[in-house]
Structure 1
Amino acid sequence: MTRSIRPDAVLVQAVIAGALSFAHLHDIAAAAGQDGWKAWAYPVSVDLLLVAAWRRLRILRSDGSPTRAAWTWFAVALAASLGANVATAGLLDLNNVPAWLRILVAGWPALAFLGGTLLVHTPTSSAPADPTAAPVMDSDSAPDVAVTREASVPVPAPEAAPVPALPPAVSVPPALLAHARKVAETHHTATGTSIDPDTLRARLGVPGPMADALALQLTGKD
């Protein structure tokens, strides 16, 4: 599938303006004594410095860094290009170039090299700190902060141990109590000591709670 090529008026205008500026810079360099390939290198150097300064200016703006250096070198390159365009408009005799212009043309390579180097190595500012990020603490301050936080946190009081519920009261039948009293008297006569709940439970064959209730009743009576 072929694509149709449509001329862009802005692009055509940029190409024409660039070619005219390139030719004017070449003419000034040739008139100042820079012949051959050197006269063609001057417009390339000026335009490259102009583009590099503008590109660096955009990068510094997006990073929030100072743009004074980029603006300075952009103005220097623009002044060189604009000055060459104006000088070739008949205001300067190219057959008799003044000495100061020869000095400027001869010193331009060093100036352009310095500007390009400074533009490339201009540091950008670091990214702004996130205000929501937690502060970073060194090892000396970290223990103190940890102790402070530990002290500020309330310590819950220990829970009280649950009180065991008392066993429910066991109803003792009177007949069983009378029989247990006889067994206890027999045991006391034979041993000389009061009968204990375990022995009473074994003699009567009753459950443990009933034997305890019987022993309590007998002890209370005693």
Structure 2
Amino acid sequence: MRAHLVRVDAVVVQAVIAGALSFSHLHDLAAAAGQGGWKAWAYPISVDLLLVAAWRRMRQLQRAGEAAGSPRLWFLVALAASLGANVATAGLLDLGHVPASLRVVVAGWPAVAFFGGTLLAHASHVRDAPAVLDSPTADPPEGQTPALAAVNAPEPEALPVPAPDPVTEPATVEPETVQPAPPGPAVALPPVLIERVRALADEHRSATGRPADPDTVRARLGLPPSMTASVAAHL
């Protein structure tokens, strides 16, 4: 348990450190591109939220067996923005003299992120499958219990009952009496079951002062009646 907690804590700490560094790089790049004040702090949040939202929608569509091309595209866009900011602040770009093209990209990012987030938010999770209620063996629709589906299912048409023959009456057949099968020979029980039989017998003897009945012990163990002789052999 402690090793599991240590492993989880290490993963959380690593995620927090990586997220803080990426957040700082995006903020520095946005501030260098002319986005000052609160706007420079909003850019990292926008990029990270689009990244997480695209990843979650992509996983949902993949589990549903549908194509996840659109979420994968927006995931790559957000990943490129985050990775590009981290690489740009590694000394390869002079933050004091940011190119005009980068200023245009940073300034246009809010519109791109808003468009992508809107598409991800309004995309359907799973395509609606047509409900088949004509067949009695069809699965009930999603969100409907089997009992409710059975109530809503159409009742089968009743077959006409043939009229009895007025001349010949069916002969009355007496039901055959089924004699219970005699208990079979004792079957060897596994050692674990033998210990359980003896423990139940000792418990019954301690509680009542009388020896345990084999049928009672067999019933408490959930064994079939044919195992009564096997249980009695170990009492």
Q: TM-score, normalised by structure 1?
A: 0.57
Specify the alignment match of 1:24 in structure 2. Answer: 25
Helix, strand or coil at the partner of 1:118: helix
Aligned residue among 119, 130, 138 for 1:133: 138
Residues of 2 paired with 1:61 and 1:110: CA distance? Answer: 27
TM-fit CA distance, 1:156 = 5.1
User: Deviation string for 1:85-120 (max 9, x for gaps)?
Assistant: 011111111111111111110000011111111001
Specify the alignment match of 2:145 in structure 1. Answer: none
User: Deviation string for 1:20-52 (max 9, x for gaps)?
Assistant: 100110011011100111001000100011111
Specify the alignment match of 1:216 in structure 2. Answer: none
Specify the alignment match of 1:64 in structure 2. Answer: 65
Alignment of 1:45 with 2:51, yes or no, is: no
Q: Which runs of 5+ in 1 are unaligned?
A: 135-145, 164-222
TM-fit CA distance, 1:155 = 8.3
User: Deviation string for 1:139-188 (max 9, x for gaps)?
Assistant: xxxxxxx9xx99xx89858725359xxxxxxxxxxxxxxxxxxxxxxxxx
Specify the alignment match of 2:165 in structure 1. Answer: 159
Alpha-carbon distance change, 162 to 52 in structure 1, aligned in 2, over 3 angstroms: closer
Alpha-carbon distance change, 162 to 55 in structure 1, aligned in 2, over 3 angstroms: closer
Q: Which moved more, 1:5-14 or 1:23-32?
A: 5-14
Correspondence list, 1:7-156, <5 A: 8-124=9-125, 125-127=127-129, 132-133=137-138
Helix, strand or coil at the partner of 2:50: helix
**Which residue identity is paired with 1:68?**
G
TM-fit CA distance, 1:123 = 1.1
Residues of 1 paired with 2:54 and 2:131: CA distance? Answer: 28
RMSD of equivalent CA atoms: 3.0
**Which residue identity is paired with 2:31?**
A
Correspondence list, 1:180-195, <5 A: none
Identity %: 67
Residues of 1 paired with 2:33 and 2:107: CA distance? Answer: 8
Q: Which moved more, 1:73-82 or 1:8-17?
A: 8-17
TM-fit CA distance, 1:19 = 0.6
Helix, strand or coil at the partner of 1:126: coil
Residues of 1 paired with 2:66 and 2:129: CA distance? Answer: 10
Residues of 1 paired with 2:52 and 2:168: CA distance? Answer: 85
Residues of 1 paired with 2:168 and 2:130: CA distance? Answer: 58
Structure of greater Rg = 1
**Which residue identity is paired with 1:133?**
A
Residues of 2 paired with 1:51 and 1:41: CA distance? Answer: 16
Helix, strand or coil at the partner of 2:128: coil
Residues of 2 paired with 1:71 and 1:128: CA distance? Answer: 28
